[in-house]
Amino acid sequence: MTNENIRLRFAPSPTGPLHIGGVRTALYNYLLAKKLGGKMILRIEDTDQTRFVAGAEAYIIDAFKWCGIEFDEGVHMGGEYGPYKQSERKAIYKQYADELIASGNAYYAFDSSEELTGLRNQYEADKKVFTYNAFVRDGLNNSEKLGIEKSEKLIAEGNPFVIRFKMPKDEELIMHDLVRGEMKIDTNTLDDKIIFKSDGMPTYHLANIVDDHLMKISHVIRGEEWLPSMPLHVMLYKALKWDDSMPQFAHLPLLLKPKGNGKLSKRDGDKMGFPVFPTEWTNPETGDQSMGYREEGYFADAFINMLALLGWNPGTEQEIFSMDELIQAFSIERVNKSGARFDPEKAKWFNHQYMLKSDDAVLADLFAKELTDKGISADKDMVSKVVSLVKERAEFVKDLWEQSYFFFEAPKEYDAKVVKKRWKEAMPTLMADLKVVLENIDDFSSSNVETIVKQWISDKELSMGQIMNAFRLCIVGAGKGPHLFDITELIGKTETLNRLQAGIENIKRA
């Protein structure tokens, strides 16, 4: 079911890598767009050239590709409403600023930054805060005071100017947010924001509103940090007489630090050793590298599942959702108002759940790459079986080796603590006896060997625990690992006998 009236966008500024909070914002836009049968658009908001960072746009596009958030239109793929990069739409914005001036909703301002800094300092000395607003604008250097003719002359003479929005006095603005409900604001508390800069570029506010209007955006879902901009945006829609088609707004709660107050930052990640970016990022100026979920070994699905539940809940106990299930289940009504605390352990838990539910053959392919890097060539079926035996102990594919190396190589040494505890004096002889028992077994399947060995132990009235622990020490080199007879089945009879012999010869009590 497609609905061409539903159009959502993610509109990042290319100022660096994308914080996972940004990925979550994009995700919620994507989920709602798809749920309602609409389109998802990627627009680059690069009006602030001073904050431009090389490589950031390519980074963002690549990160979304990894995550599985797909766009229908955008900077990287074009579309009916392009261009999708604000620096390429420069020519579009000025007419709307002019229109706002003509309708008395905006004015030219010539105040230099020195003048404004002087005013700020003066106010500060009086313990007040300077705000460029309805109460002071008539006394400042702008077309409200100078009149339009004089102002146009100044502009024609080449004097630098900005355009400010004329925030009305004494109005109560009523706004509606899909997450927060109705909000009222007194316009006297708002300032006259710059909407057009002296460099000929619109500010974020104007460009954002114009683009959302021209691109027919139906819903604006964005981070809570944009809530203070909402009154101006609503006022701009009204002033441009676009209020009939104004998008619905939803401001998402912050992602909070694992402990304490405040927004999750890169510093928290660095301190506690978890990534705050979807993929690795290298700062083009300093060469500094930041960790990424992809490179840390997270599955894209697990990463998305984890993010989806940071700030939204399905209203049930279900925690594991595929992207399609998220699309089905998502609704803005179930987005929380309060901040969502990020929990790095929960992130790992999600990855573990995806390990458990992944196909062994798929995990085996990923693991086989690591084995090849270590110079180990193993049969695919065997790797698949190993994975099925140890994946419950692994959070990441990279943990599989530590849980399973003994399937691929004989012990090079023996865990000293286990030797001390388990390798009693009689063990070399008992293991030699066990070796004879094993030599006589043809069917080396786990259950058959288990039955015969256990029978032998009980016939000889030996201690089950002592024999099994010593046997494990010979095979694994340590006291860990899955069911021992599953290991011997997979490494096979010859290797089992070799390891037993090596243990008998090499394990020495200190």
The C-alpha atoms of residue 458 and residue 447 are separated, in whole angstroms, by 16
Stretch that binds ligand GLU, among 10-18, 263-271, 274-282, 348-356 (CB under 6 A): 10-18
Stretch that binds ligand GLU, among 6-14, 113-121, 269-277, 377-385 (CB under 6 A): 6-14
Q: How many residues interact with ligand GLU (rule CB under 6 A)?
A: 9
Site string for ligand GLU, 169-208 (x = CB under 6 A): -----------------------------------x---x
Burial environment of residue 83 by CB neighbours within 10 A (0 to 12, 13 to 18, 19 or more)? middle
Residue pair 111/160 in contact (Cβ under 8 Å)? The answer is: no
Site string for ligand GLU, 225-254 (x = CB under 6 A): -x----------------------------
Among 137, 164, 222, 294, binds ligand GLU (CB under 6 A): 222
CB of residue 220 to ligand GLU, shortest distance in Å: 6
Residue pair 105/205 in contact (Cβ under 8 Å)? The answer is: no
Residue pair 231/260 in contact (Cβ under 8 Å)? The answer is: no
**Which residue number, 8 or 473, has a Cβ lying nearer to ligand GLU?**
8
CB of residue 115 to ligand GLU, shortest distance in Å: 29
Q: Which residues lie closer than 8 Å to 487 by C-beta, 6 or more apart?
A: 389, 406, 407, 475, 476, 481
Go through 169-182 and write b for each residue having 16 or more CB atoms within 10 A of its CB, e for each that does not: eeeebebebbbbee
Stretch that binds ligand GLU, among 9-17, 370-378, 469-477, 491-499 (CB under 6 A): 9-17
The C-alpha atoms of residue 289 and residue 19 are separated, in whole angstroms, by 14
Asked whether position 24 contacts ligand GLU by CB under 6 A, the answer is no
How much of the chain is helix, strand and coil, in % rounded to 5? 50, 10, 35
Task: Tell me the pairing of strands 7-10 and 39-42.
Answer: parallel
Choosing from 145, 238, 266, 385, the catalytic residue is 266
The C-alpha atoms of residue 133 and residue 126 are separated, in whole angstroms, by 18
Stretch that binds ligand GLU, among 220-228, 235-243, 379-387, 417-425 (CB under 6 A): 220-228
Site string for ligand GLU, 36-55 (x = CB under 6 A): ---------x----------
Q: Is-catalytic flag, 266?
A: yes
**Which residue number, 226 or 444, has a Cβ lying nearer to ligand GLU?**
226
Q: Where are the alpha helices (DSSP H) in 264-359?
A: 266-272, 300-308, 323-329, 344-357
Chain residues in the site for ligand GLU (CB under 6 A): 11-13, 45, 204, 208, 220, 222, 226
Catalytic amino acids?
A: 266
